[in-house]
Structure 1
Amino acid sequence: MDESGRLSMEPEIPIESFKIFATGLDHPECLAFDRQGFLWAGGEAGQIYRIDPEGKLTTVANLGAFCGGLAFSLLDVLFVCCPALGVVKVDGSGEVSVFATHAGEHKMICPNYGVFDSAGNYYVTDSGNWRKNNGYLLRFTPDGKGRVIGGPFGYANGLALSVDENFLFMVESNTNRVLRFELKPDGLAGEPEVYAEECGRFPDGLTLDAEGNLYVSCYASDDIHRITPMREKTLFAWDPFAILLGSPTNMAFGGPDFDVLYVANLARTTITRVPMGRQGQLLANQRVKTKLRPRPSPI
């Protein structure tokens, strides 16, 4: 490990492989694809952008406050983590409504990132406050009822759900670690295990490819790490100039063959992308059209 917290090795792919896909965004934190292949992103001042396959921006809505994690439900409705408002829903016409400010009696401090399973359950992190170890993992059932299922953690952040939906991965940014939870039939999460350590500086976002490789984007070290299913960790990409990877926060797979990785750069005004040579793991809203059998909700 070198002084910057990166693995002491050459990146798997050169930074020149990344290209700018869209520009003119207000410091995007997160991004997510809808079923039609449009990319959505949030802005620092509350903008909700829809981006066509050519990279053209349309501002669909404005929440008036910083937008964190984006995720699409099974009905392809956009859920946005907005720390100032809670979790907010945005439909295709731009209509905005608050989905939740609490999970049961727990009032969210900093809702950060969410992911849906194939039964419509919504897992979301409440980061808490930096260095206060008051972050939590929450779960909302399709009827909107929420509960705390894990914590406290040190700044709970990005999430990724295994393809069989038996395990949930979560970034703990305070400790530069990725944790993994077994999801129980009663809807609770098992005890966290450390899946990977020393994941750059301030790991933020997670995504999985179809082969089970986990990608970790790091806000403070301008790099992306890859963790294989055997838990071997490599430096996937790094930008020493923080231009094409400038405080990368979240990632999503897309493209006609679903083999292009798109990255939000919070320190810049761009979304960049890179061809991967392997397909990403389909998310719940994207799997609906493939008619996979959904996992029943235990509640």
Structure 2
Amino acid sequence: MSSPKSSAISANVIAKGLAFGESPRWHDGRLWLCNWGTGEVVAVDEDGSSEIMLTVPAVLPYSIDWLPDGRLLVVSGWEGLLLRQEADGTLVTHADLRELSKSPWNEIVVDGRGNIYVNGGGPAPASGEHFGPGTIVLITPDGAARQVAEDIAFANGMVVTPDNKMLIVAESHARRLTAFDIAADGSLSNRRVWADLGNDYPDGIALDAEGCVWYADVPNRHCVRVREGGQKLDRIETDRGCFACMLGGADGRTLFIAAAEWRGFEHMVSDARTGQVLSAAVAAPGAGWPSYASGTR
């Protein structure tokens, strides 16, 4: 018996002219995202107006989230540093990750207890490869950093469930979402396939209040909502690659999608400005971490 087909949802373009939007977060009533290739962190209103919030000393990859006290964190991928923005706007080193990796870091999520998870990194890539097997590191509130998972097949988006007991990570090259149990000390265990995605390549992900995950997919040019076990429920088709997604808006029921034309790794830094932000109304609000409910942990 074949599985039911996912239902289609339409999206509207609300912002244009970005390079590559990544690591979108709903914060203080706006969508914040990293504009890869420019070093900018940009905030976009629902009407599409935008503002450059800061420029970071990284071109790509870099990603953002917030500490429970409201200070912004920025992962500077190639530099191997987790940066923190102070009240006066300056960026200082929150954690030095260089000893834990020979490859660039990618995504970040801060859970409801203030534990920080950063993925990517890992061993140096093999000859001809862009990335080696990825890892996940934990930075605890006292500043200690340690590796808590390894052999991630191109680590991308991460979410933590509202009870702070499960982390889900997109393994893009394995075409799956993988789950870990989170222990009281932040360690990860009981690794398992949360959803096998068939021919899809998950990039950024977002968790909703029904326990489903939205994932962005670059080569297949869509965002898909999937249930644990792999049933695909809803989809949004686009005319360019979907790099990341985030639930936000006043009630958390708007899915924002960062999309751009993909021309290969060698052309990621260029003058092309094909990046867009799209929005779509969805039924279930966001949940867990990253959270659309800014300031509540």
SS in 2 for 1:85: coil
* AA aligned opposite 1:60: M
- 1:116, distance to aligned residue in structure 2 (A): 1.0
Aligned residue identity for 1:106: L
Aligned to 1:296: none
Q: Which moved more, 1:210-219 or 1:132-141?
A: 132-141
CA distance in 2 between counterparts of 1:189 and 1:132 reads: 22
Q: TM-score, normalised by structure 1?
A: 0.82
- Distance of aligned partners of 1:274 and 1:181 in 2 relative to their CA distance in 1, 3 Å threshold: same
In the alignment, does 2:289 pair up with 1:274?
Answer: no
Among 80, 92, 95, the residue aligned to 2:90: 95
Selected match of 2:48 from 48, 51, 55? 55
Contact 2:248/2:254 (CA < 8 Å) preserved in 1? yes
Aligned length: 276
8 Å CA contact 1:68–1:81 kept in 2: the answer is yes
Alpha carbons of 1:197 and 1:272: their partners in 2 closer, same or farther (altered >3 Å)?
same
Q: Does structure 2 retain, via aligned residues, the 8 Å contact 1:85–1:98?
A: no
Q: How far 1:148 moved relative to its partner? A: 0.2
SS in 2 for 1:211: coil
Change (3 A) 1:176 1:155: same
Call closer, same or farther: CA 1:282–1:170 in 2, change over 3 Å: closer
Unmatched tracts of structure 1, length 5 or more: 1-6, 293-299
CA contact (8 A) 1:73 1:284 kept: no
User: Is it true that 1:206 corresponds to 2:217 in the alignment?
Assistant: no
2:166 aligns with 167
Amino acid in structure 1 at the alignment position of 2:49:
K
Query: Which amino acid letter does the alignment assign opposite residue 93 of structure 2?
Result: V
Distance (Å, rounded) in 1 between the aligned partners of 2:88 and 2:221: 35
| Aligned positions of 1:1-299 closer than 5 A | 11-14=6-9, 17-34=10-27, 36-43=28-35, 44-63=37-56, 64-86=58-80, 87-90=82-85, 94-102=89-97, 105-107=99-101, 109-128=103-122, 129=125, 133-229=132-228, 231-234=229-232, 236-239=234-237, 242-243=238-239, 246-267=240-261, 268-283=274-289, 289=295
1:71-102 deviation line (CA, Å, top 9, x unaligned): 22212222223322333334576533333331
Identity %: 22
Higher strand residue share: 2
Following the alignment from structure 2 to structure 1, what is the Cα–Cα distance between the partners of residues 290 and 202? 24
The Cα of 1:289 is off from its aligned counterpart by: 4.9
Structure 2 SS opposite 1:174: helix
Name the amino acid aligned to 2:232. T
Distance 1:201 1:55, change over 3 A: same
| Structure-2 separation of matches of 1:120 and 1:287 | 15
Q: What is the identity, as a one-letter code, of the residue corresponding to 2:214?
A: Y
Query: How far did residue 159 of structure 1 move?
Result: 0.6
* Residues 52 and 90 (structure 1), Cα distance of their counterparts in 2 relative to 1, 3 Å cut: farther
Equivalent-residue separation in structure 2 for 1:23 and 1:282 (angstroms) = 29
Distance 2:253 2:188 in 1: 31
Q: How far 1:68 sits from its partner (Å)?
A: 3.3
What is the TM-score when the length of structure 2 is the normalising length? 0.82
Residue 119 (structure 1) shift = 1.3
Q: Which runs of 5 or more structure 2 residues have no equivalent in the other structure?
A: 262-273
